[in-house]
Amino acid sequence: MHSPLTYIVPGLILILLVFLVWNHLRQRKLIRQLQELARSLEESKQQIIQEQEHNRQLKQEMTNNIAHELKTPVSSIRGYLEILLGDKPVDDAKRQFFLQRCYSQILRLSDLIHDVSLINKLEESSDLFPKESVSLRQIADEAVLELDEMAHSHAIAVRNDLPDPMLINGNRNLVYCIFRNLLENAISYAGDGATVGIESYKEDSKRWYIHFYDTGMGVASSYLPRLFDRFLRIDEGRSRKSGGTGLGLSIVKHAVLFHGGDIYVRNRDGGGLEFFFSLKK
């Protein structure tokens, strides 16, 4: 007759073996999970480091660009003032000319400071921009009226075919910046006698879709991917000659993104540039 231990001991050994195997597998699984977590943390760390380095490079590039942009007007102002304050007499006509040149350069500095501040605010403190119900048609009309004299001097016809009222919940000043900067860019670079148009080409439950175009010269296709970059120089001295800061299209892109939309640009068939952008209702 077999003792009860004959059956109990093998059973206990089997249970112990199963437990040890299960525990070993659980530990291996836990080790794999910990290894995967460590890899994930390392990848996140490297991504953060890369983003920090990218942001550092962008800030360094912008700092260098700002210093470069400041150099010309500051040097001009200094030169004119040195002449005015020098020992040699300056007649009234030249004095008036030098003062006017100083004033125009100071206006350029003021515009540059304003645009840089606006971009920084959009990037770092976008929640500080209040929103309200605004009419895209009305704001586009205001921008067209503001630049009417500039357009007339270049024999450029501007057509605002946006339907009324085209309401969105947005920031009035930023929406105005979108239309004004696009208009100013087109009037400055499209060429005399061109036509500029603004129209809505699509609508859905969430967004308005807007087409902005000119019938001018366009740009080389190699520049299109960088057209929204800060201080982009297509032609050396181009922005200075037009009086711009080189930040207008960058502000346009930031303002469109702020309103939950996107924007892209291409050369228009038949000549000129065309921008397609959306704004959240």
Check whether domain 1-128 has CATH 1.10.240.10, yes or no: no
Domain with CATH 1.10.287.130 in the chain: 1-128
Q: Read off φ and ψ for residue 164, nearest 5 degrees.
A: -105, 135
- One pLDDT digit (tens) per residue for the chain, 281 residues: 556 656 566 667 778 777 777 877 788 887 888 788 888 888 888 888 887 787 777 677 767 777 777 888 889 899 999 999 988 888 999 999 999 999 989 988 888 888 888 988 888 888 889 999 999 999 999 999 999 999 999 999 999 999 988 999 999 999 999 999 999 999 999 999 999 999 999 999 999 999 999 999 888 888 888 889 887 766 544 444 455 677 889 999 999 999 999 999 999 998 999 999 999 99
| pLDDT number for residue 252 | 95
Name the burial class of residue 43, with classes exposed (0-12), middle (13-18) and buried (19+) by CB atoms within 10 angstroms of its CB: exposed
| pLDDT number for residue 239 | 46
| pLDDT number for residue 24 | 76
Under DSSP, is residue 280 helix (H, G, I), strand (E, B) or coil? Answer: strand
| pLDDT number for residue 238 | 45
Distances 93 to 15, 87, 98, 229 between C-alpha atoms, Å? 107, 17, 9, 41
CA dist 227 and 212 (Å) reads: 15
pTM of the model: 0.72
| pLDDT number for residue 152 | 95
CA dist 64 and 205 (Å) reads: 43
Instruction: Write out the CATH class of domain 131-280.
Output: alpha beta
| pLDDT number for residue 185 | 92
| pLDDT number for residue 236 | 46
Domain with CATH 3.30.565.10 in the chain: 131-280
